[in-house]
Chains A and B, each alone.
Chain A
Amino acid sequence: MKVPYHWLKEYVATDLEPQALANKLTMAGLEVDHVATRWPKIVTAQIVYLEPVKGSNHLNATRVTTGQGDERSVVCGAPNIKLGDVVPLALPGAVVQAEGGETFTIGVAKKMGIRSEGMLCSPRELGLSSDHQGIYILPTDTPLNMPWEEVVIELDIKAHRGDLFGIYSIAREVAAFANVPLQAPPLAVPELGPTPVAELARVTVADAALCPRFTARVIQDVQIGPSPLWLVLRLAAAGVRAINNVVDITNYVMLELGQPLHAFDYDRVADHHLIVRRAKPGEQLTTLDGQPRTLDPDMMLVCDASGPLSIAGVMGGATSEVADTTTNILLEAATWHPANIRRTSGKLGLRSEASSRFEKGLDPNLAQQGVDRAARLLVELAGGTVAPGIIDVYPQPVQPRTLRFTTHDVEWLLGYAVTPSEAAHALTALEFGVVLDGEGEGMTVTVPTWRGDVQEGADLVEEVARVLGYDRITGTLPSGPLPEPQLASWFARQERVRDIMAGAGLREIVTYPLTSRAALLNILHDQSNVAPLLLGAVDLSAPAVDGNGAGLAEQTASDGAKGKKAKKAPAVATAAATPNLPALAPDQLPVVVLTNPLSSKHETLRLTLLVSLLETLGENARQGAPSARLFEVGRRYVPTPGMATGAELPHERRSLGVILYGRTGDEWLETARDLDFFDLKGIAEKLLRTLHVAGARYTPTHHPTFHPGRCALIELPVSAEPDAPTRPAGILGEIHPAVAARFDLTRRAYALELDLERLFAAAPEHYHVQPNARYPALTRDLAVVVRRDVPASDVAAAIRAAGGALVQSVTLFDLYEGQPIPPDQRSLAFTIVYQAADRTLSDADGDAERAKVVALLRERFGATIRE
């Protein structure tokens, strides 16, 4: 809402300068966007001398005066000026507009040897219209030396204050906050016409619920023409272009009072009878902007017998538009149902000054003020004659609401005490009616009908607070009881994971979860089956019902207020080495899709963090980063069956993603080496050990993002209970070279994704530790030769199993392939630490343990012992 300062001052005699006034408004809750000065150093002047410049085919030398006994020389190239014209003169220092909205500053110049001390301006140069055919020739009665300069305060009016879309209503607030008198614009109408309006026109409202009030007047014998300069400038300062005096007056009153109006050409309304009704299905109307509009029965129209004339409260139609030939006006000022107007303008994609006011709710009592004010101006500025009387269809006049209010209400919310008279004074300043109870703290408050936003006590508290000043709300700390302590929270868990990852030398990224189906498919080297994108996020062993991920249900990301543990109801836990993946074709990709994305790159929510990790790494690689160790703690978004109807939210799975790329740092002490799979696995192991997660299994698997021979499924126990079955929780491996190439990666990359809900399901909330052993441990090394396809973890597990409770740790310290080991075998060397709680283990104990291990490895793997 643009508020020209001098226009505002017509209603309120504040002596605050524009910037001070802007600050006052801001602190009163009328947020000021910015304050701008229009037309600095532009005045009206008259041409008193005019002669062509010798040697030029279009320049004229002029002398102009502002009537103060001054004269100045201005060279002008416009073809349309003549001696005696009153014109806008830009003095040196003025800022005017060039083509395309750019501005330039006027200086003193010499043209063809003649001094030019300013510029005569076209309408476009003054920002009044696109007209640049010639100088803006003003009516000859325009006062000379009239300064054009105006300061425009642009306000961001909030959605609940539809009443503030009029400069007079802003003045009402200024009067309250600056404590100065308010002067209403004159509304009295000289009804000098010969025929009462009731005999000239009729209005029928068919749906009063959507049209609470409809007022109309008839003004006869108007003379269509340009508006006076002051009116043109006020409209322009408020952001509205002048058209002709009748249209300008309706716009002026809308800007002044906030009441939109519509002027019909009286003689083009069939039977002079306006009918307000819902549109018929498919009914058509071409609006003033030249667009044909197709209407539906939820839209209100103002019609005559021949059809629609305007879309009520939104925009008029072309057929009954005021034209140069118009002589009689049928003037409408109505009130429309806010939500209905909003729906209509939304459906038509048509926002107007009128609709943006009506949709916020206008006071029906404003309608008559609007029609009266406009009628008066049509007499003053267009020479019209107003027919006596007003048409007013207002079946249920709005009565002011009364509210009971006490100073206790103020103290309850604001925390400080006010006296009844203080509260009453504050409310009265904003034109609320207040009747104090004889004694005590209570009062009855009458709410002005334009304040539809004030519904209950809390709203009155805000009004009191605004007038008394928010600065009076000084700070204290809450004294109430604390909630129960918060136990494990997802926030804390994720922070823990972040700390562990950062401690492992990884750099955190925070990415957009918005991606696209194309981007998701782009991380698969083989796109025939997209189901692996769901790995870890859903229970893949459960049968998929359809491509929308139905049947893949698990808990959502909602936390609960008291840190209650999310209810865990895992479906069938699986111990299978490779998850039983339901195959999904690319067109079945189960993703959450936006219906109105900003771009095709951001049309879905991500199904996996891998896409974010790879894209971020790719971007860094393109920027020249030779290495990177990145992680993200974020969410994956998996559709649910009930989502399509809005009945169910998608699953938001908290996940950890890690990506490693490039080499260890090049340093003078050690030679750099390529980061590898085991760097990544070490990070995963560090995370699990830090969280006391036991029983993780890494099994070879295939996933179309990863190298087929360097990819492991991570399975975790379904709970922290001993011997709990495991289920897939994540994946890690080397990025497939075909995928890496798509992200311009020149070195190998390794990525991991782990479901945090499944991770923490396997992590004990509490755990016990052992005292330090009282007896020394016994350490034995053992090198075994087994077939290459025997997993090292199976051998270690067998060693543990053979030693039972005595085994404290089994650590692989060497792996050897080559002579003299046969080509299909390899040597694995372990350090085994035995520990007994009740005695010192002897060499004989060690020999016995070794014999047990050797026997079991022989039996299970056909292992031989390397002595």
Chain B
Amino acid sequence: MLDQLEALRQKAVADLEASGDTAALNAWNATYLGRQDGALTAILRGLKDVPGDQRKIVGQRANAIKVELEELLAARRSALAAGELARALQAERIDVTLPGRAEPRGGLHPITQTIRDICAVFAEMGFHTVEGPEVETDYYNFQALNIPADHPARDMQDTFWIVPGQLLLRTQTSPNQIRIMEQTRPPVRAVVPGKVYRNEATDATHEAMFHQIEGLLIDKTTTMRDLRGCLERFAHAIFDPASKVRFRPSYFPFTEPSAEVDVTCIVCRGAGCRVCKYSGWVEIGGSGMVHPQVLRNVNYDPAVYRGFAFGIGVERIAMMRYGINEIRLFSQNDLRFLSQF
């Protein structure tokens, strides 16, 4: 009886391995394990006729074989299913090198991106970002900034006039120093990005309209060392953590002491190249301690309050960042240029 069982098991295992699809597996199941006619089922059913001492041994063996065959069947089924799925998926193969569906790609103008990045650096240091009018009065653009009428410093900025002597297109973002201080009390920390206008012929590095960012900080403790520290942080964030800031004495009627701000040339990293005229430095703006007369003009007591102001040229910084040597590209708005950003 046990021999008979063993022969059945071997045949069943061999048959199972030969079954190549689901239909064959179902047939195999009916042949060996079927409730009605399965060969093993028949043996189990016939156990009652087996003599008592054999019945237990044969019964245990038959049940073990049944469990084994059921497990083999399940394994075979899942192997076959995996193969069928794999074949189906294989048939769905696509060319992944075909281009993706074109989403229209928008983007921000490089001047916007540069202004945003610079203002973010100063926002981290507590500077508000505010705006002011582009059409200004002579008072805010010049007089309150310690540039009276008939002052030679007016030659530094050729002016577009709307009402001569009274209304003009601002030549700098500095009038906002006055507007901000008139509207608030210290502590003041603000940056003012915006368009400025100069009545000058345009060339590769000059435009009649360009962008500046004004900075102003007034409180009771801030010194020119803090000005340098803020500008260093700005240079590290915008250019390179290794870039250096250099102050050169200069003259702006509304700051005293005044300093031109140079940063390490990012093209040659200070070694000297055409961009920096072999000096290793590139000028990015002007700065200084707010002139006591300017403070008095807005009724701030210069014996109590002090602080700094700076003005940064946005185009120049964008030109350095993106390796551009032609400022007019910014206002031409040619898509071949813009789509690179």
Residue among A31, A359, A491, A598 making CB contact with B130, cutoff 8 Å: A491
Binds B, one of A36-44, A535-543, A623-631: A623-631
The reply to whether the CB of A97 lies closer than 8 angstroms to some CB of chain B is no
Interface residues of B in 141-185 (CB under 8 A from A): 148-153, 155-156, 160-167, 169, 179-180, 183-184
Chain B, residues 102-131, CB within 8 Å of chain A (1/0): the string is 111111110110001001000001101111
Chain A residues in 8 Å Cβ range of B116: 495
Contact B225 A476 (CB under 8 A): yes
A478–B179 touching, CB < 8 Å:
no
Say yes or no: is A505 at the interface (Cβ < 8 Å to chain B): yes
CB <8 Å contact, A619 and B332: yes
Proximity bits, B224-263, A CB within 8 Å = 1, else 0: 1110111111000000000001111111010011111000
Chain A residues with CB below 8 A from B19, complex form: none
Contact A414–B248 (Cβ < 8 Å): no
A461 proximity list for chain B (CB < 8 A):
256-257
- Is B292 at the interface (CB under 8 A from chain A)? yes
Q: Is the CB of B193 within 8 A of A491?
A: yes
Tell me how far the C-beta of A749 lies from the nearest C-beta in chain B, rounded to whole angstroms.
14
Given A27-B249, A593-B162, A482:B189 Cβ within 8 A: yes
List the A residue with the shortest CB-CB distance to B277. A34
Return chain B residues, CB-CB under 8 Å to A558.
131-133, 179
Given contacts A480-B222, A483-B188, A594-B160, contact A470 B247 (CB under 8 A): yes
Cβ–Cβ contact A466 & B135, under 8 A: no
**Given A507-B106, A507-B338, A649-B167, A466 and B249 touching (CB < 8 A)?**
yes
B137 touches A (CB below 8 Å): yes
Q: Which residues of chain B in 277-291 are interfacial with respect to chain A, using CB atoms and an 8 Å cutoff?
A: 289, 291
Complex contacts, B247 vs chain A, CB 8 Å = 470-471, 473
Cβ-defined contact, B334 with A619, below 8 A? yes
Closest Cβ of chain A: how far from B190's Cβ, in Å? Answer: 6
Question: Does any Cβ of B come within 8 Å of A650's Cβ?
Answer: yes
What is the chain A residue whose CB lies nearest that of B179? A558
User: A458-B292, A462-B249 in contact; A629/B106 too (CB < 8 A)?
Assistant: yes
B333 interfacial by beta-carbon distance below 8 Å: yes
CB <8 Å contact, A668 and B150: no
- In the complex, the answer to whether B208 meets A514 with C-beta atoms within 8 Å is yes
Interface-located stretch among B9-17, B36-44, B85-93, B213-221: B213-221
A635–B257 CA distance with the chains assembled, in angstroms = 35
Give chain A nearest CB distance to B271 CB in angstroms.
16
Residue of B nearest to A593 (CB): B162
CB of A596 within 8 Å of the partner chain = yes
Check A330 for interface membership: any CB of B closer than 8 A. Answer: no
B316 → chain A closest CB, angstroms: 15
Mask of A506-523 contacts with B, CB within 8 angstroms, 1/0? 111111111000000000
Q: Is A509 a contact of B109 with CB atoms below 8 Å?
A: yes
| Closest B residue, CB atoms, query A605 | B135
Cα separation A665 to B336 with both chains bound (whole Å): 16
The answer, yes or no, to whether A413 is at the interface (CB within 8 Å) is: yes
CA distance A458 to B179 in the complex (A): 23
B182 → chain A closest CB, angstroms: 9
Contact partner, B336, options A339, A471, A481, A623, Cβ 8 Å: A623
Find chain B residues with CB under 8 A from A630 CB.
333
Bound Cα distance from A592 to B208, whole angstroms:
17
Q: Report if B195 contacts A (CB, 8 A).
A: yes
B289 touches A413 (CB 8 A): yes
A-chain residues with CB within 8 Å of residue B335 when the two chains form the complex: 507, 620, 623, 625, 628
Contact with B106, one of A31, A457, A503 (Cβ below 8 angstroms): A503
Please judge, given known A-B contacts A413-B289, A414-B225, A629-B104, whether A511 and B130 are in contact too, CB under 8 Å: no
**CB atoms of A509 and B333 under 8 A apart:** yes
Q: Are A512 and B209 in contact (CB under 8 A)?
A: yes
A478→B229 contact, CB < 8 A: yes
* Given A160-B251, A508-B112, A595-B162, CB of A475 within 8 Å of CB of B229: yes
For residue A504, which residues in chain B have a CB less than 8 angstroms away from its CB? Answer: 104, 106
Q: How far is the CA of A809 from the CA of B178 in the complex (A)?
A: 51
Instruction: Indicate whether A6 reaches chain B with its CB closer than 8 angstroms.
Output: no
* B26 interface residue (CB < 8 Å to A): no
Query: In the complex, are the beta carbons of B248 and A27 less than 8 A apart?
Result: yes
Distance in angstroms from A492 CB to nearest chain B CB is 7
Q: Which residues of A contact B222 (CB under 8 A)?
A: 478, 480
Q: Name the residue of chain A whose CB is nearest to the CB of B258.
A: A462
List chain B residues, Cβ under 8 A from A161.
Answer: 251
Q: Cβ of A674 < 8 Å from any Cβ of B?
A: no
Could you tell me the distance in whole angstroms from the C-beta of A75 to the nearest C-beta in chain B? 39
Q: Give the bracket for the number of chain A residues in contact with chain B.
A: 35 or more
Tell me how far the C-beta of A861 lies from the nearest C-beta in chain B, rounded to whole angstroms.
Answer: 37
Residues of B within 8 A of A336 (CB): none
Main secondary structure of the interface of B (DSSP, over half): mixed
Residues of A within 8 A of B251 (CB): 29, 158-161
Q: Please tell me if the beta carbons of A508 and B249 are within 8 angstroms of each other in the complex.
A: no
**B-contact 0/1 string along A582-624, CB 8 Å cutoff:** 0000000000111111100010010000000000100110010
Interface positions, chain B 29-86, Cβ under 8 Å from A, are none
- How many B residues touch the partner, as a band? 35 or more
CB distance from B298 to the nearest CB of A (A): 12
A201 within 8 A of B: no
Cα(A501)–Cα(B104), bound, Å: 11
In the complex, the answer to whether A415 meets B224 with C-beta atoms within 8 Å is yes
Contact pick for B219, options A162, A481, A646, CB 8 Å: A481
A479-B224 CB under 8 A given contacts A595-B162, A623-B336: no
Task: Determine which of B130, B161, B187, B306 lies in contact with A559 in the assembled complex, contact meaning CB atoms within 8 Å.
Answer: B130
Contact call B223/A595, Cβ cutoff below 8 A: no
Interface flag for A854 (CB, 8 Å): no
Complex Cα gap A411–B74 (Å): 88
Task: Indicate if B101 sits at the interface (CB-CB under 8 A).
Answer: yes
A475 touches B225 (CB 8 A): yes
A342 at the interface (CB under 8 A from B): yes
Q: Which residues of B contact A28 (CB under 8 A)?
A: 249
Interface flag for A490 (CB, 8 Å)? yes
Mask: chain A, 16-50; 1 = CB below 8 Å from B; 0 = not:
00000000001111010000000000000000000
Interface: A148 (CB within 8 A): no
Q: A486 interface residue, CB < 8 Å from B?
A: yes
- Contact of B300 with A by CB under 8 A: no
B169→A476 contact, CB < 8 A: no
Asked whether, in the complex, the Cβ of B226 is within 8 Å of the Cβ of A470, the reply is no
Provide the bound-state CA to CA distance between A27 and B105, in Å: 47
Q: Which residues of B contact A490 (CB under 8 A)?
A: 130-131
In the bound complex, CA of A471 to CA of B225 (Å): 10
By a CB distance below 8 angstroms, the chain B residues around A668 are 98-99
* B339 / chain A contacts, CB cutoff of 8 Å: 507
Indicate if the CB atoms of A478 and B226 lie closer than 8 Å: yes
A513 touches B195 (CB 8 A): yes
Q: What's the Cα separation between A161 and B152 when bound, in Å?
A: 10
A475 to B253, CA, bound (A): 24
Please measure, in the bound complex, the distance between the C-alpha atom of A476 and the C-alpha atom of B245, giving whole angstroms: 13
A188 within 8 A of B: no
On whether the beta carbons of A480 and B220 are closer than 8 Å, the reply is yes
> At the interface, yes or no: A525 with Cβ under 8 Å from chain B?
no
Does A560 touch B at the CB level, under 8 Å?
Answer: yes
Q: Please, which residues of chain B bring their CB within 8 A of the CB of A466?
A: 249, 257
- Besides A483-B190, A489-B131, A595-B164, 5 more A-B contacts (Cβ < 8 Å) are A415-B223, A507-B107, A508-B112, A605-B135, A619-B334
21 contacts between A and B (CB under 8 A): A29-B251, A159-B156, A412-B306, A413-B257, A465-B224, A465-B249, A471-B246, A473-B225, A473-B228, A475-B226, A479-B221, A482-B187, A483-B128, A507-B335, A507-B339, A508-B338, A513-B134, A562-B183, A563-B130, A646-B138, A646-B163
Rank and list the top 10 A-B pairs by shortest CB-CB distance, nearest first: A646-B166, A415-B223, A29-B249, A505-B104, A480-B219, A415-B225, A462-B257, A158-B251, A475-B229, A339-B150
Residue numbers of A with Cβ under 8 A of B are 26-29, 31, 158-162, 338-340, 342-343, 359-360, 411-416, 456-459, 461-462, 465-466, 470-471, 473-483, 486, 489-492, 495, 498, 501-514, 556-563, 592-598, 602, 605, 616, 619-620, 623, 625, 628-630, 635, 637, 643-646, 649-650, 652, 664-665, 667-670
